[in-house]
Chain A
Amino acid sequence: MEKWEIFQWKKSLEEKRIVLPNATVGKSYRQELDLSAAEWNEVIISNINGLEHTGLAYDTESNTLTGIPLVSADLKLVFNLIIAGESMEKKVPFAINPDPRSLWKTIDTDRDDPWWKPDEFLSQQALGSKSLVAASKRGRAHANVGKFREDHYACATAGKRGWHTIAVSDGAGSADLSRLGSKIACEAAVSYFRQLSDSAFDELETLVNGTTLPIAQPLEQKLQELAVKLLSPAALEVHGELSRKAISIDASLADLHATLALCLIKQFQNAWVILTFSVGDCPIGLISSNEEEVSVLNWLDTGEYGGATRFLTMPEILEQPDFHTRFSARIVSDFSYLMMMSDGIYDAKFETAFNLSQPKIWKQLIADLKGENPDGHQVDLVKENPDVATQLSSWMDFWSTGNHDDRTLVIIY
């Protein structure tokens, strides 16, 4: 063989590509090298350097790289080759990717912070003939940098006549004190109705008691007006409370930016009455008793890009001409589920506002809650399940690529 031929042979081996697809830590790997090209004839691979401590090994008989990678690494493997009696080295890039889940850190929040709040909150209670379960959890994005949970929820009985208030709020990621904003929003809403005199509900209750289902069109109109009448002072009160708090702690109102989804619910003899109000992007979904139909009770303040969310802390919200459309009122004989959630759940499970109107997506979510998920987490949504809240909390740890916001979910079932 001419000298230049060996020179060229080595050169082309140097250039020949060996592609080793990326491995992932903990995932079994097996790749056979393609050495079928003519250049590889009579070439001996004497050794491969760089695989030490990776958990992978190369078998020269079968030309296969196998094993379960132990650590993430970006390697340049060095293949020692023998060609016509001469030795040469060939470098082959090989990457072992980390398990994406291992990259998220959990950093504790600052206990001494004046507005500290727990990373997780859960509760369960009876609600008429049904039950309520709720959980709110700090998302990975916040845990990764030691930030607080910005979501919040609160629920309580209002007065003695069996009305219940449920509030869900999501603090703005860009606002410094949004964890406080969402807390005040929920607590102020609940406390407003707790202090409201029972007689405030008289007009509504008379209307409901004189109604046979399904309700007639003009009555629906009347009901909607009553919802505005009952809930708008609450919205104003929450806004006022946030403003007062901002002044008292010498912060700007924008520092407390938070959304609010509010629901007032009562079981009557033959019907359930559900009134809602919302600003922001926390959907309230009502699923019919046969689970075939879904009504989203509020519209969401979402834009093309997420930044368009609106907050109850924005004074202009209260003056806009569409303010009354933020309220809804329903009378139904029964339902299977009523759910309120923050965008940490909604983004991961629905992705778009359009999908919220699709019963099949809600069905998937219900099946998911009942255990159809990769982790096998199961929430037994049956009456008198003492562990339902902890089950919901475990379920809420689901993995969803790219969705690591705080998660809050309230279910009446």
Chain B
Amino acid sequence: MRRLPIYFLIDISESMIGEPIQNVEEGLANIIKALKADPYAIETVWVSILVFAGQAKTIVPLQEIADFYPPRFPIGGGTSLSKGLGHLMYELRSNIIKTTHEQKGDWKPIIFLLTDGVPTDDSRTAIQEWKQNWQKSTNLVAISFGQETDLSLLTELTENVLMFNNSDTAQYTAFFKWVTDSIKTSSVSVDNSASGFELAKLDDKVISKIDLNKKTIPQEYIDPNYVVLAAKCQNTKRPYLMKYKKVLNDSPFSDLGLQTVAYRLNGAFQVDNSYYELSDQSVNSFKINSEELIGAPTCPSCGNQYGLAICSCGKIHCIGEEEYSTCPWCDTKAQYGTGGGGFDINRTQG
């Protein structure tokens, strides 16, 4: 029997934390559920899930659908497309069965690349290697989750570049249904000895094909849609992330049509230590002024009232009702008050 390997390479940078990653998690679970009910897919399709942020990792090794168990998605800092691609190529090299005298090899693997941001590293070498060794022997579909993804990079990888409007859960449901349909059609067409790769019909409201001739967006190294702050809990010493989403406000000079950019609290999320494992270790020094941030969360790890306190070392942690707080980063004991005026805070890249 010939396998049809399906790889998901998923961006798990910080901006994906919260609802987007939950939607992806549920979306993938639904894909598997639907494929299990399809007699062709359940016998032919094998699935693997790879994630990448600053680093890349396999969270579901290539396996039969019948053995699939929903993974937990970690979150990391940065969007290293080169590490993601590199890891994908490593997995393909190790797992794809080639045709030999005695055995028929796998069908052409289908890869769904889901990314929501601008790569925070230089991915030219990885893209070059992809083009040379893998572009022809796989079917790659690149799907952009964010408005400001660097599409010019994706169009270098494949002619199948799609834009997904990830506005709400219903859109996610429709999107993952489209992925499921594409896999199903492909698994039937390999059985009929056809090409084995057919994308399902696109619903333009949910997902649209990118015009490859369109002007590209200049490269940036920080994701402007979100501000994500990394912090540590004073009580549990565990890391957590606070996510702020961009909002445009009318400025006091609104008659001039001016707007100011601000970021509103989207949520605070406890992460585990795999966050560090998957983050880009190079020091980042992107700053955001506290006056641009709207709202502060409670600590998602211990429930402390204020999750956004800054130690003199520049790092963020939570504080409660205690008189003296200890910074979980540098162990400095200090008394905290409310700061007046704006101050700069280190933000993450993803």
Contacts and interface: CB of A to CB of B under 8 A. Distances in A.
Contact of B2 (A100, A103, A402): A402
Interface residues of A, number: 41
Given A93-B69, A307-B195, A352 B103 contact: yes
B336 to A, nearest CB: 17
Interface stretch (B31-39, B84-92, B124-132): B31-39
B272 interface: yes
Nearest to B196: A305
A103 B193 contact: no
B192 A173 contact: yes
B66 A103 contact: no
A103 B68 contact: no
Interface in A321-367: 351-352, 354-355
Contact of B193 (A74, A307, A401): A307
A141 interface: yes
A352 B235 contact: no
A8 B301 contact: yes
A140 B191 CA distance: 12
Nearest to B300: A11
A98 B37 CA distance: 7
Given A3-B303, A103-B37, A352-B102, A173 B193 contact: yes
B155 interface: no
A141 B40 CA distance: 8
A104 B42 CA distance: 11
Contacts of B103: 351-352
Nearest to B68: A22
Contacts of A104: 39
Given A307-B194, A352-B103, A355-B102, A402 B303 contact: no
Contacts of A8: 235-236, 301-302
Contacts of A403: 1
B29 A103 contact: no
B194 A174 contact: yes
B270 A305 contact: no
Interface in B52-77: 66-70, 72
Given A15-B272, A19-B69, A22-B66, A352 B104 contact: yes
A66 interface: no
Interface string A286-308: 00000000000000000011110
A22 B72 CA distance: 16
Interface string A94-107: 01011010011000
B236 A402 contact: no
B67 A93 contact: no
A377 interface: no
Interface in A386-405: 400-404
A4 B302 contact: yes
A24 interface: yes
B322 to A, nearest CB: 11
Contacts of B2: 402
A100 B42 contact: yes
A170 to B, nearest CB: 11
A378 interface: no
Given A19-B69, A307-B194, A309-B193, A97 B36 contact: yes
B99 interface: yes
B20 interface: no
B243 to A, nearest CB: 18
Contacts of A15: 270, 272
Contacts of A74: 29, 33, 36
A173 B195 CA distance: 13
B44 interface: yes
Contacts of A402: 1-2, 43-44, 191
Contacts of A140: 39
Given A11-B270, A22-B69, A306 B101 contact: no
Interface string B303-317: 110000000000000
B297 interface: no
Contact of A93 (B29, B37, B99, B101): B29
B267 interface: no
B236 to A, nearest CB: 5
Interface of B is mostly: loop
A11 B240 CA distance: 13
Given A8-B236, A103-B42, A351-B104, A97 B193 contact: no
Contacts of A173: 192-193
A17 interface: yes
Interface string B1-42: 110000000000000000000000000010001001111101
A72 interface: yes
A11 B301 contact: yes
Nearest to B44: A402
B39 A354 contact: no
A352 B42 contact: no
Interface string B153-171: 0000000000000000000
A144 interface: yes
Contacts of B193: 173, 305-307, 309
B66 A72 contact: no
A100 B43 contact: yes
A21 interface: yes
Contacts of A354: 101-102
B39 A103 contact: yes
Interface in B93-108: 99-104
Given A24-B66, A351-B102, A401 B303 contact: no
Contacts of B68: 22, 95
Contacts of B303: 3-4, 7
Nearest to B303: A7
Contacts of B194: 174, 307
Nearest to A141: B191
A163 to B, nearest CB: 35
Interface string A126-142: 00000000000000110
A276 B97 CA distance: 35
Nearest to A24: B66
Interface string B163-195: 000000000000000000000000000011111
A404 B43 CA distance: 11
18 contacts: A2-B235, A4-B302, A8-B235, A8-B236, A8-B301, A21-B69, A74-B29, A93-B29, A95-B68, A98-B36, A100-B42, A100-B66, A103-B38, A173-B192, A352-B103, A355-B102, A402-B1, A402-B191
Interface of B: 1-2, 29, 33, 36-40, 42-44, 66-70, 72, 99-104, 191-196, 235-236, 270, 272, 300-304, 320
Given A72-B36, A95-B36, A351-B102, 8 more contacts: A4-B320, A103-B37, A141-B191, A305-B195, A352-B104, A354-B102, A355-B101, A400-B1
